[in-house]
Amino acid sequence: MGAVIIDGVAIAKAVRAEWKERADRLKTQGILPGLAVIIVGDNPASKLYIRNKIKACREVGLHSEIHEFPRDTSQEMVLKRISELNVNPDIHGILVQLPLPPHIDSAKVQETISSEKDVDGFHLYNLGALVAGGTVFPPCTPYGVQCLLEHMDIPIEGQNAVVVGRSNIVGKPMALMLLQKGATVSVCTSKTRNLAQYTLLADILVVAVGKPRLITGAMVKEGATVIDVGINRLPDGKLVGDVDFEEAKRRAAYITPVPGGVGPMTITMLVANTVQAAERVAEKA
Ligand code: NAD
């Protein structure tokens, strides 16, 4: 029997509707959740991501604004704008689109964003909170994966989870979140010897590498849940994940497609984090 295909588009729509209700409630208290997005340079992929993020915010009725800088903008200018946004009461979330040009220190930029407005969840304080078992602003992509699992009623506690990839924005926070939910977690990297030995143990397999069809069907445990975070453009223009979808869906119980799986959830969780940031402001007031 084939796997159930996890419909990220439909789940994202349902989750956004929930966050819209929360945003509407804030509006009745006179608070309009606001997101500021900073982009430096004109990387077409970054511009597309930003357009989609702004569109999602508008759909939910949030305020959103783009701060565009030319590629040769100094680091000082970018940090200055972040400092202004940190104290702007109309802005509850600040996001700096990565990658930044090489003359700008991404870590320094992330650290300058107020941890209370760090809706991407990349600030060291928020990453630390994740290590300590808290969830101030969970990074959007792993948060989206967790939300997909919860929506599909896929148990996490007691399961063997394998995360392939250890980036700071996906793999590492994903592993911590699964650990926090009671899974037994293994993290595999490019240095892992015999990757299949690990993936075959996975009740939940999350793959975030950026290599088309790295995970073949033979590497998937029968009945597993396979979450494919990867986004790769093939020479013929086709978009694929890191998992051989056609093969893996014959063995898995649940699987996400690419596109239409994790991607829509990442943007949805950005909306969620922005609304939560505004809710915290409302609570303090
Ligand atoms: P990254 O390049 O920062 O990290 C890739 C990781 O994969 C590294 O930790 C590396 O050790 C590991 N790796 C490389 N080769 C490997 C191999 N052969 N076996 C096992 N591990 C290997 O990438 P990232 O930023 O985490 O992104 C990963 C993928 O996810 C990319 O395709 C990216 O486009 C995609 N992505 C998707 C979303 C989304 O919303 N769907 C969000 C973020 C990233």
Residues 257-271: tens digit of each pLDDT? 999 999 999 999 999
**Within 6 Å (CB) of ligand 1, which residues are found?**
141, 164-167, 169-171, 188-190, 192, 195, 208-211, 214, 229-232, 262-263, 266
Question: Residue with the nearest Cα to atom 18 of ligand 1?
Answer: 190
Ligand 1 pocket mutation pick from 50, 97, 166, 170 by most atoms within 8 angstroms of CB: 170
Residue 160 and residue 200 in one domain: yes
Asked if residue 124 has pLDDT above 90, the reply is: yes
Q: Is residue 7 part of a domain?
A: no
Task: Give me the pLDDT at residue 135, please.
Answer: 81
pLDDT at 285: 84
- For residue 187, the domain's CATH number is 3.40.50.720
> Which tokens go with 12?
């994202």
- pLDDT tens digits for 125-167? 999 999 999 888 999 999 999 999 999 999 999 999 999 999 9
- Average pLDDT over the chain reads 97
Q: What is the mean pLDDT of residues 104-110?
A: 97
pLDDT at 94 over 90: yes
Same-domain check for residues 151 and 250: yes
Residue nearest to atom 5 of ligand 1 (CA): 209
Whether the per-residue pLDDT at 1 is higher than 80: the answer is no
Looking at residue 102, which CATH number applies to its domain? Answer: 3.40.50.10860
Calpha distance 165→174 (Å, rounded)? 10
* pLDDT of res. 117: 98
Average pLDDT of the segment spanning 102-117: 97
Provide the residue range defining the domain that includes 49: 31-118
| In a domain? residue 22 | no
Among 86, 118, 150, the domain-final residue is 118
Distance 231 CA to ligand 1 centre (A): 9
User: Are residues 147 and 219 located together in one domain of the fold?
Assistant: yes
216 Cα to the center of ligand 1, angstroms: 16
Mean pLDDT of 46-66: 95
Which are the catalytic amino acids?
53, 97, 120
Q: How many domains does the chain have?
A: 2
pLDDT at 87: 98
Q: Is the pTM of this model over 0.95?
A: yes
180 with 240, same domain? yes
- Quick one: 152 and 239 in the same domain? yes
What is the per-residue pLDDT for 242? 98
Q: In terms of domains, do 105 and 170 share one? A: no
89 and 180 in a single domain? The answer is no
